Amino acid sequence: MVGGHYTYAEVPLFDTIKEIFNFERNNYDKVGHFVQGFVPAIIAREILIRKRVVNGRCWLNVFIISICLAFSAFYELIEWWVAISTGENAEAFLGTQGDIWDTQSDMAIALLGAFCAIISLDKYHDKQLAYFKSA
């Protein structure tokens, strides 16, 4: 909601952070892309476990990461299509701020978010699933 109001490149709090840490750009969109990997990872994990789609922890994590990366890549394609259709306002919508690698770094940040979700919440998630299975 905040990014939609100000545009991703002009969120005031992240302008302040940019100045404090001497960043070259406003990195608000990176927080959004981190969440874009973190949240779908938990949703995908829940579905894959409940539906018994894969066997084994390793394959489960491979599928979760793959789903999150596919989701992130699809979002980047949507951004590209909107940029093509809006023409002049593409830079404001995309929020690349002159970074030619913005799309790739956005997907890398989503990947990091997915890894963080798996590493930090898998044991807690397993306990919750076991609790609800026994209840």
| 8 in a structural domain | no
HEC profile for 28-94?
HHHHHHHHHHHHHHHHHHHHHHHCCCCCCHHHHHHHHHHHHHHHHHHHHHHHHHHHHHHHHHHHHHH
**How many domains, in total, are found in the chain?**
1
pLDDT of residue 74: 95
What is the span of the domain harbouring residue 128?
34-134
Residue 89 within any structural domain of the chain:
yes
In a domain, 110, yes or no: yes
Mean pLDDT for back-to-back runs of 10 residues, the chain (135 residues): 59 75 78 93 94 93 97 90 77 65 91 97 91 75
Q: Are 109 and 32 in contact (CB under 8 A)?
A: no
Residue type, 8: Y
CB neighbour class for 11 (10 Å; exposed up to 12, middle 13-18, buried from 19): buried
